[in-house]
Structure 1
Amino acid sequence: MSTRSTHIAPDADASIRETDNDAAVARLSAAQKGYLHDPYIRHLVPRAHLQQPRPPLINVGTYVRGAAIDALVEQWLQIADKKTKKCQIVSLGAGSDTRFWRIANGTHKDTLATYVEVDFPEVTTRKAMSIRKSKELGAILGGDIQGGTALHAGKYHLLPGDLRMGPTALSTLLTGILDSSLPTLLLFECVLVYMVPSASDAVLRWFVDYFSDAKTPLGAVVYEMFNLEDAFGKVMVSNLKSRNVSIPGAEPYRNLEALSQRFLSTGFNTAHSETLREIRRTWIAPDELERLSMLEMLDEIEELELVLEHYAVSWGLAASGADASWGGWGLGKK
């Protein structure tokens, strides 16, 4: 009988997957406090009724992030609608996001032809189970809900995959689901920062190549931390390391120009980036800021702005030969 012990290799991605739970609980908190409207997030947070509210600083940050991305998605749908075109959305590293349900129950539900979510198999399995357990989520999907690790129902597709596996894996995963003739928007919310730059660039290039022959508008939105070389950023990195979370994708992106350049170097025609701090100051309407200020007492304004200065929303457009209307897509001052 062997006395050699058997060691189970640690799951190196478990800590990354746990960040999705953090984001989901933060969104639940922001919704419960009235910062944003999301009646679906409670179905995707385990024991939602027992979760403690997050501090005001996190609630505000969650709101600004959501408002910016919501606006970019809404504008994409509006342009497609005006052009009487269907469009597609692909959310990569989607986690517990509820965006499909919010769109499917909104004014642009008929504009959306296909909605795809991709994440680790452990994440998609958990999400598929939550969807099946929720009558509300299932009713909006409609029809038969098929799958286990993956899930397919009507225009919604939940797919297990690892973006680090490269273009061949992406092609296997998405070919046959995506229509290269339809305007398509990619969403990356705190995803690329966990990948080495060569792997994230390969993902962006695959999508650009996939849609280039049809000259179809392709948009991409990236939300992530950046500018981590200063004292505050180093504390952020240290805190993540204490949770066994590494962010190899952050190192090249030390300023907004670098975030925009990532798009331009992978085949996009135009690109823009803004910090959450600047978005809160110049894009969120004054009356909305007033409403938010009434929800909770927030004493740490300087700390809030410091945190928001280290997160950015970037968006790029690959639309060579496409209708000029798509060139107006993006955040502007309100």
Structure 2
Amino acid sequence: MAALGLEAVQATNDDASLCKRAAVHLGYWKDPFISLFIRSSDRKAPEINRGYYARVKGVEMFIHKFLQRVGSNCQILNLGAGFDTLYWRLKEAGIRITNFVELDFPAVTSKKCHFIKKSQLLLDMIQVGDGEVMISNTDFHSNDYHVVGVDLCDLEQLKTKLSEAGVNESLPTLFLTDKFRTALFVNYEQVNMDDRFGNMMTSNLRARGCLLAGVNACKSLDSQKQRFMQAGWDGAQAWDMVDVYSALSSSERHKMEQIELLDEQELLVQLLKHYCFSIAWKGDMLSDIRIGIPDNM
């Protein structure tokens, strides 16, 4: 990937983090850690805030369903994690897992490592017992949390980095690849990119230098599922964000919707129709995961 393209992809982390910071500031969801990575953000449109609410809560929903099936002796690999605070939010909720690994470009992980080193709150939640913590310019390693700077296109370096992060191929794994016997891959991405609104999104991203190498898989929910089946996963499913939004807790959603009123509901629906969650699984244990609220959430 050309240098300009790499910089454009890396810049999407800044955009996403700013949007999350703006929504959290207004009270869409609680995240006491995002401000440690992004100090402030301009106000965003209500449609954007609700879209990020659905994105964050959708990820949480799939994680809870995964943990209900496999328990805490598992690992989560967060690809393109950016400044995501999921590890600390899970810790704050009392959820402990065996290994949590974040991967992103070294230019992004170096910033994240810098912010972690500056925050005693973040460090205190990572350092458990007498476990050793190792920090470099781009990588961070502790007992159960790892930040790894790597280009995912460099497969040989990726293998080395995963080994350094203590990734165990025998553990149930959320997110990564067909190398694991029991695994769930959760993907948030564009969909319906062949219609007029989708073409406009593609043009805007390309104008910023984001070439969307996987755009052919973003044509429909079916194409999103087929990419996983063709890669050898046991099964796959996909939902657009309208369905995911509707499946979230109605009481929480109603409370969130009172924060800001929408002038036009159609704009939100149009936005949500062009993003989706797709999942793929390895092993029978995870084959029946679907959208909806777990009983104990």
Q: TM-score, normalised by structure 1?
A: 0.82
User: Which residue in the other structure is 1:61 paired with?
Assistant: 51
1:307 equivalent to 2:297? Answer: no
Name the structure, 1 or 2, with higher relative contact order (CA <8 Å, separation 6+).
Answer: 2
Map 1:152-301 → 2, pairs under 5 A: 152-166=141-155, 168-175=156-163, 177-186=166-175, 207-208=177-178, 210-211=179-180, 216-281=181-246, 283-301=247-265
What SS does structure 2 have at the residue aligned with 1:331? coil
User: Which residue in the other structure is 2:61 paired with?
Assistant: 71
Q: Which of 119, 132, 135 is matched with 1:134 structurally?
A: 119
**Percentage identity across paired residues of the two chains:** 31
Gapped regions of structure 1 (runs ≥ 5): 1-8, 187-203
Residue identity matched to 2:168? D
What SS does structure 2 have at the residue aligned with 1:272? strand
What SS does structure 2 have at the residue aligned with 1:175? helix
How far apart are the structure 2 equivalents of 1:278 and 1:77? 22
Query: What is the total number of aligned residue pairs between the two structures?
Result: 288
How far apart are the structure 2 equivalents of 1:70 and 1:61? 14
How far apart are the structure 1 equivalents of 2:293 and 2:125? 34
How far apart are the structure 2 equivalents of 1:28 and 1:173? 30
Q: Is the 8 A contact 1:95 1:119 kept in 2?
A: yes
User: Which residue in the other structure is 1:93 paired with?
Assistant: 80
Deviation (angstroms), 1:144? 4.7
How far apart are the structure 1 equivalents of 2:253 and 2:268? 14
Residue identity matched to 2:104? D
The alignment yields a C-alpha RMSD, in angstroms, of 1.8
Q: Is the 8 A contact 2:217 2:227 kept in 1?
A: no
Deviation (angstroms), 1:164? 1.3
Q: TM-score, normalised by structure 2?
A: 0.91
Q: Is the 8 A contact 2:4 2:209 kept in 1?
A: no
Q: Is the 8 A contact 1:86 1:182 kept in 2?
A: yes
How far apart are the structure 2 equivalents of 1:327 and 1:266? 16
How far apart are the structure 2 equivalents of 1:68 and 1:104? 18
Q: Is the 8 A contact 1:57 1:300 kept in 2?
A: no
Could you list the structure 1 runs, at least 4 aligned residues long, displaced by more than 6 angstroms after superposition: none
Q: Is the 8 A contact 1:269 1:317 kept in 2?
A: yes
What SS does structure 1 have at the residue aligned with 2:44? coil
How far apart are the structure 2 equivalents of 1:252 and 1:325? 26
Residue identity matched to 1:267? G
Deviations 1:141-194 (A, max 9, x none): 11554222111122111111111123x2322221251112211101xxxxxxxx
1:328 equivalent to 2:288? Answer: yes
Q: Is the 8 A contact 1:267 1:318 kept in 2?
A: no
What SS does structure 1 have at the residue aligned with 2:187? strand
Deviation (angstroms), 1:267? 1.8
Q: Is the 8 A contact 1:124 1:160 kept in 2?
A: yes
Deviation (angstroms), 1:52? 1.5
Gapped regions of structure 2 (runs ≥ 5): none
Q: Is the 8 A contact 2:193 2:220 kept in 1?
A: no
How far apart are the structure 2 equivalents of 1:185 and 1:285? 23
